[in-house]
Amino acid sequence: MKIYIPLDTVAVALGADDIVAAIEVEAARRGVSVEIVRNGSHGMVWLEPLVEVVTPSGRTGFGPFTLADVPALFADLAAHPKALGPVADLPWMQGQTRLTFARVGIVDPLSLTEYEALGGLTGLRRALALPKADIVAEVTASGLRGRGGAGFPTGIKWKTVSEAVADRKYIVCNADEGDSATFADRMLMEGDPFTLIEGMVIAGLATGATKGFVYIRSEYPVAIRVMESACTVAQQAGVLGDSVLGTGPAFDIEIRVGAGAYVCGEETSLLNSLEGKRGVVRAKPPLPALEGFMGKPTVVNNVISLATIPVIFERGAEFYKDFGLGRSRGTIPLQIAGNVRFGGLYETAFGLTLGQIVDDIAGGCASGRPVKAVQVGGPLGAYHPRSDFATPFGYEEFAGQGGLIGHAGLTVFDDSADMLKQARFAMEFCAIESCGKCTPCRIGAVRGVETIDRIAKGDAAAIPLLTDLCNTMKAGSLCALGGFTPYPVMSALTHFPDDFAPMKEAAE
Amino acid sequence: MLDAATVTDRIEHILEAHQGMEGPLLPILHAVQAEFGHVPQSALPGIAKALNLSKAEVHGVVSFYHDFREAPAGRHVLKLCRAEACQAMGADRVAAHAQKALGIDWHGTTSNGAVTLEPVFCLGLCACGPAAMLDGKPIGRCDEARVDDLIAEARA
Ligand SMILES: Cc1cc2nc3c(=O)[nH]c(=O)nc-3n(C[C@H](O)[C@H](O)[C@H](O)COP(=O)(O)O)c2cc1C
Ligand code: SF4
Ligand code: FES
Ligand code: FES
């Protein structure tokens, strides 16, 4: 009997390890031999732990699985109380276009053989036969833009590094994923680590870089473990090492662990951190593409940007580019979080409206109450009211609504949310995580908390002060931590003025 | 207690293991913290010397990052997520409950040294919040009752 039980942090956080142990005990007691594979998560968090049993008709799912559901796994499976049928047939899976996440949940994350059987390394083999400039051109033609937040065209960044002349160049994968409501990087690294490795190797071929780093936040112990093991497997198989797949140049990868600083997700702060310094943001120029890690030309890309490279080379830039909307090409792994009935990872072409995502896919609030606000793009993203629900999911489209898509995380709040409190938190978070380099961010955020506290006490005169402060932070901050904190604050104030009304405290 | 000679000896080991690494300071500090449960002051001179830095520079790095402790934590570390997606599921309420049950504020340690309570900003469990982590083990849907269980487990 072959059983899949995810090793993904989400499954573990909901009891997967205990279920593995219980299944082993129950199987031993019954004298049944079981083979348990720890796969990635399919992304349906409300069904985790999602156990799958291999049957003659394919993989059948059972979830959300509890210890009490173990004995019935050894009886008539069709009658199991948690039976879901084939996982691939569930509506959440059917609705998606899984390109970057095609193998996540399906593949055994550390089996390179299975990885190849499911199309892995096809893209790398193709890239190995191409000159550097053609690899870069393919990425540019795909329309891929950075998935870490800023949406910068990946091909252009690679071109700069490729054309720079230096004795050493680096590929740095940004796996700091500090934004609330985001977990796509984590799920990809835990569920299909070779895809990221393959993407980084192709980046190395394109630019002439021979060394890669994956900077993973320390809050992700499972991802760190899986990535380290995957690198060892890739080294043993010759995917990484002195000559990529025995014919290419050298490329190797080292896993590095962050130390609990949100700002280290900002690329220059991350480079300082990798070099062993305080994670203070660097002024640009120089661009990291020209003077990055140790002053050498460096590609800094998000996990999802790099992990999307293999499918672009496997299926072609045109294929990838045909998905999407406007200048947002391809697919985006939406991360649906907070107060939702159906939360998790949903990869789809750009262009669904916010309303389709929140009402249809997420099914509204878990609490059963009306949706009040959706924060899109993490802690630096705006709070959107229902009146923004017609906005299609795309970089320019959200910018047009005074917001941003960031790393594509969405946090849904029901009508019990207090938007003044959310605005206060945004300022508090900025104050805690500021790298300290600029005054508007370091001091402004502290003033922001105080000003919002005054508003909460009924001081209406503090409202214009808050607006001024936000303008100062926007204009005077070096990076988006100080510069974008005004998005959540001002959107809360603008769209939900009742929560900031002076009578608020008096009425309570 | 850690005597200076023991620290120096074990630091030598850690430094040796990180030789040849590019930008080795964070990996070294993680290794030191894994070894001692915190980054002892007495470890800084050796690290500084090996990396050709001043002691103040090393201290500056240690103090920049939330992860590095300058003093040992309690026997168990309970981290509760304070970020937005968990707030939407009642994280503030759960945190207040934990603080009351333990009688400590954020970053505090119970007087018997059993539990240290720390805030964390996102554990990547944002679709099954409120999220928590006890001694490195992730926990989803961590409501008040679950916090009580975790505290009981940590105190036992
Ligand atoms: C405060 C702050 C935090 C950031 N955090 C992350 C992060 O966790 N992960 C990430 O990929 N990019 C993050 N970014 C964006 C990076 O600076 C950079 O744009 C990105 O890594 C580039 O890769 P991409 O082009 O593939 O998106 C952050 C930016 C700022 C200002
Ligand atoms: S805006 Fe804040 S985090 Fe960014 S560089 Fe300035 S002080 Fe540092
Ligand atoms: S460094 Fe002082 S204000 Fe920017
Ligand atoms: S916001 Fe709490 S785990 Fe992400």
pLDDT > 90: what percent of chain A? 98
Beta carbon of A180 within 6 Å of any ligand 4 atom: yes
Angle at B82 between CA A392 and CA A400, to 5 degrees: 20
Residue A14 pLDDT greater than 70, yes or no: yes
Query: What residues does ligand 3 touch, defined as CB less than 6 Å away?
Result: A 437-439
Is B68 within 8 Å of B47 (Cβ atoms)? no
A464: cis peptide before it, omega within 30°?
no
The whole-angstrom separation of Cα A270 and Cα A261 is 10
ipTM given for this complex:
0.97
pLDDT tens profile B14-50: 999 999 999 999 999 999 999 999 999 999 999 999 9
In DSSP terms, A301 is beta-bridged to: A173
Is A63 within 8 Å of A14 (Cβ atoms)? no
pLDDT tens profile A26-58: 999 999 999 999 999 999 999 999 999 999 989
Please identify which residue in the block is written with the tokens 């993904």: A8
Which residue type does A103 have? R
Q: Which residues contact A208 (CB under 8 A, 6 or more apart)?
A: A132, A161, A162, A169, A249
The whole-angstrom separation of Cα A439 and Cα A367 is 41
Q: Which residues contact A160 (CB under 8 A, 6 or more apart)?
A: A287, A289, A290, A297
pLDDT tens profile B66-105: 999 999 999 999 999 999 999 999 999 999 999 999 999 9
End-to-end CA distance of chain B: 24
Number of H helices, E strands in chain A: 21, 16
pLDDT tens profile A184-211: 999 999 999 999 999 999 999 999 999 9
Q: How far is the CA of A158 from the centre of ligand 4 (A)?
A: 32
- Per-residue pLDDT band for A15 (boundaries 50, 70, 90) equals very high
pLDDT tens profile A447-467: 999 999 999 999 999 999 999
Q: Which residues in B lie closer than 8 A to residue A179 (C-beta atoms)?
A: 122
In DSSP terms, A328 is beta-bridged to: A325
Is A485 within 8 Å of A438 (Cβ atoms)? no
| Contact (CB<8Å) A46/B127 | yes
Q: What pLDDT was estimated at residue A114?
A: 98
Interface check A177 vs B, CB under 8 A: yes
Q: What pLDDT was estimated at residue B1?
A: 57
Average pLDDT over residues A268-272: 98
Domain borders along chain B are 4-64, 76-155
Residue A508 pLDDT greater than 60, yes or no: no
Q: What is the mean pLDDT of chain A?
A: 97
In DSSP terms, B133 is beta-bridged to: B79, B138
- Per-residue pLDDT band for B137 (boundaries 50, 70, 90) equals very high
Q: What pLDDT was estimated at residue A502?
A: 66
Residue A279's SS3 state is coil
Q: What pLDDT was estimated at residue A69?
A: 98
Alpha helices in B18-143 (DSSP H): 25-36, 44-51, 55-64, 84-87, 91-102
Q: How far is the CA of A415 from the centre of ligand 1 (A)?
A: 31
Interface check A54 vs B, CB under 8 A: no
pLDDT tens profile A125-183: 999 999 999 999 999 999 999 999 999 999 999 999 999 999 999 999 999 999 999 99
By Cβ distance, the residue of B68, B88, B139 closest to A13 is B139
Is A153 within 8 Å of A145 (Cβ atoms)? yes
Polymer length in residues for chain B:
156
The whole-angstrom separation of Cα A346 and Cα A357 is 9
Residue A85's SS3 state is strand
pTM comes to 0.97
| Contact (CB<8Å) A275/B23 | yes
Distance from B43 to chain A by nearest Cα, in Å?
16
Interface check B104 vs A, CB under 8 A: no
| Contact (CB<8Å) B126/A178 | no
- How do B115-120 and B76-81 pair as beta strands? parallel
Residue closest by Cα to atom 3 of ligand 3 = A438
Q: Which H or E element spans position A429? A: helix A419-433
According to DSSP, residue A81 is labeled: T
Main-chain dihedrals φ then ψ at residue A172, nearest 5 degrees: -115, 120
Pocket probe mutation, ligand 1, options A152, A174, A263, max atoms within 8 Å of Cβ: A174
Residue B151, both tokens = 């505290």
Query: What residues does ligand 1 touch, defined as CB less than 6 Å away?
Result: A 146-150, 152, 174, 176-178, 263, 265-267, 300-302, 305, 479-481
The whole-angstrom separation of Cα B27 and Cα A274 is 9
Protein fold of B76-155: Glutaredoxin (3.40.30)
- How do A298-302 and A170-175 pair as beta strands? parallel
Is B75 within 8 Å of B155 (Cβ atoms)? no
